[in-house]
Amino acid sequence: MVNILVTGGAGYIGSVTSEALIARGHRVTVLDNLVTGHREAVHPEAAFVEADIRDREAVSAAVRDRQVEATLHFAALSLVGESMERPHDYFENNTVGTLELLGSLERAGVRKFVLSSTAALFGTPESVPIAEDARIAPESVYGETKYLIERTLAWLATGGLGYAALRYFNAAGASETYGEDHRPESHLIPLVLQVAAGQRERISVFGDDYPTVDGSCLRDYIHVRDLADAHVLAVESLRPGERRSYNLGNGRGFSVFEVIEACRRVTGCEVASEVVGRRAGDPATLVADSGKIKRELGWQPRHHDLDEIVGSAWNWRQRHPHGYSG
């Protein structure tokens, strides 16, 4: 058993990962300011601290009182478009906030750190699938904030910090208990399911003239439970002073039109869609090469099927038609 601090544990991926950690017998403390997270998403067996990662006293007290040995860091602002409109907020919250958190952890002697990173580091890829050694060239403030954190971690590792940076592609799906409830929602699958549920009139498809199988963008969708498993493996195997970076995806791309059709199949509902202009900065294809974490940690995604991923999200949405609020 490891005593683990999960920042952002009231959010989407943090809540599902906390659930997986507790199922493995670990002792979890969730620290979340609830700006974007939900108190209902905190596992009942986890201790909860409502605080910001920049609150040195609160972080230090949580680490001391719960004898924290490792940290999984999910807390962040994460909307790419919003980051371009509010760059200062993103640098302050994500990069500066993480530096404050790392300082508190260092003073407390916590030397294992798993970062929720992102495929946004790579910008428009030179080739796909994308491996960890691909050119890093963020095209958004959000991606840049995560890259700066990764660079900081690499320097801190020279002083003994062990870290793993997990670069996700498109997280999707839900566990039996915890699911996706962003406000506003920006992810494709929950947006399409809102149309199926009659909560949204139609889904917009941003461009149908890309060099892909049907003209819409291709993305690598990975089940959130598989992401959680990767975090568990990373924190359980991490040692002080180690430096790791892993890409997390299924290794297969699904187009926007394929996702919409999967939602129609799973829900049995009509889903109106409309093609609109491309969004600036949307690469045609983003697919992960996750061979490194499979070789080094034995990770294997268990939920490859798009209908299964969509089905888990739809089941959660039916139990929570208005998210955690209802």
Q: What is the pLDDT of residues 283-313, one digit of tens each?
A: 899 999 999 999 999 999 999 899 999 999 9
Q: Which helix (H) or strand (E) holds 232?
A: helix 224-237
Mean pLDDT of 197-206: 96
pLDDT of residue 317: 95
Measured distance CA(320)–CA(99) in Å, rounded: 36
**pLDDT tens figures, 133-188:** 999 999 999 999 999 999 999 999 999 999 999 999 999 999 999 999 988 888 99
pLDDT beyond 80 at 31: yes
Band of residue 5 on the pLDDT scale cut at 50, 70, 90: very high
Residues forming beta bridges with residue 113, ordered by sequence position: 71, 163
pLDDT of residue 281: 72
Mean pLDDT of 20-34: 98
pLDDT beyond 90 at 229: yes
Q: Which helix (H) or strand (E) holds 296?
A: helix 291-297
Percent over 90 (pLDDT), the chain:
92
The tokens for 93 are 């919250």
pLDDT beyond 80 at 325: no
Mean pLDDT of 98-102: 98
Percent over 70 (pLDDT), the chain:
100
Give, in degrees to the nearest 5, the angle at Cα 54 between 49 and 56: 75
- Which residues are part of the catalytic machinery? 142
Q: If you average pLDDT over every residue of the chain, what do you get? A: 95
Which residues does 110 contact at the CB level (< 8 Å), separation at least 6? 5, 63, 68, 69, 70, 71
Residue 71, classed as helix, strand or coil, is: strand
Mean pLDDT of 260-271: 97
Ramachandran angles phi, psi of 8, nearest 5°: 70, 25
Mean pLDDT of 53-76: 97
pLDDT of residue 279: 82
Which residues does 295 contact at the CB level (< 8 Å), separation at least 6? none
Identify the residue with better confidence: 74 or 184. Answer: 74
pLDDT beyond 70 at 326: no
